[in-house]
Amino acid sequence: MSNSGKNIIIILLAVAILGTTSKRRIRKSDLWGSGAFGASRGNRPHLGIDLIYSPDEQVRAPFKFKIDRVSYPYASSDYSGIAFTTSSGDTVYDGRLWYFEPDIDLIGKTVRKGQVIGTAQQINSKYSGMINHLHLQLEKVNEQATKEDIIYNNKVFTNPSTVFVI
């Protein structure tokens, strides 16, 4: 094999590896506001972060977690996602990841960072002009709030990007 052929294989391998571990961007301001943790949502704060994804893009686990069940962000819509549990150090989190079609064969299983867990949904049919994204939120289980956390409805929410490299 020529050196150029070897270089192409090395580059393709690097792209495949980096594709599973690259850092996702958080949705900046658009017609609907910001995807940042704590951003205004009218009378409440944004309880998670919005990670930019294209419709039909493979969704990869942003970190290791156990998928507990399918979860829905709204009582009546076609949007879905998952409820999951994870931990960092001694802190346990209940999490939600929404706006994607999860692989239901993974329910009840622990997934590793970078593992494909579903396919991103198109959210512009509900939110015209919004940058397509997945919503990720973490709720602390039996933990005291820190000054960076948000307490909402007697629950403690923390910024996922301060707990895990996403």
How many alpha carbons lie under 13 Å from residue 139 in its C-beta half-sphere? 16
Q: What value does the mean pLDDT of the chain take?
A: 88
DSSP letter, residue 47: -
CB atoms within 10 A of CB 57: 15
When pLDDT is averaged across residues 115-130 and rounded to a whole number, the result is: 94
The C-alpha atoms of residue 38 and residue 159 are separated, in whole angstroms, by: 8
* The pLDDT of residue 12: 37
The C-alpha atoms of residue 87 and residue 66 are separated, in whole angstroms, by: 10
The C-alpha atoms of residue 53 and residue 36 are separated, in whole angstroms, by: 15
Element of type H or E holding 31: none
Nearest to 85 by CA among 75, 94, 74, 76: 94
pLDDT in tens, 19-39: 433 478 999 999 999 999 999
When pLDDT is averaged across residues 149-158 and rounded to a whole number, the result is: 96
Q: Report the sign of the C-alpha dihedral through residues 65, 153, 159, 31, in that order.
A: positive
* The pLDDT of residue 125: 83
Q: Does the pLDDT of residue 18 top 60, yes or no?
A: no
The C-alpha atoms of residue 61 and residue 66 are separated, in whole angstroms, by: 10
| Strand, coil or helix: 16 | helix
Q: Which amino acid is at 93?
A: Y
* The pLDDT of residue 19: 40
Nearest to 114 by CA among 58, 149, 62: 62
* The pLDDT of residue 2: 56
Q: Does the pLDDT of residue 70 top 80, yes or no?
A: yes
Q: Does the pLDDT of residue 6 top 70, yes or no?
A: no
Confidence of residue 15 (pLDDT cuts 50, 70, 90): very low
* The pLDDT of residue 110: 98
| Strand, coil or helix: 60 | strand
pLDDT in tens, 89-120: 999 999 999 999 999 999 999 999 999 999 99
Q: Does the pLDDT of residue 10 top 50, yes or no?
A: no
Confidence of residue 124 (pLDDT cuts 50, 70, 90): confident
Q: Does the pLDDT of residue 9 top 90, yes or no?
A: no
Q: Tell me which of 31 and 137 has the higher pLDDT.
A: 137
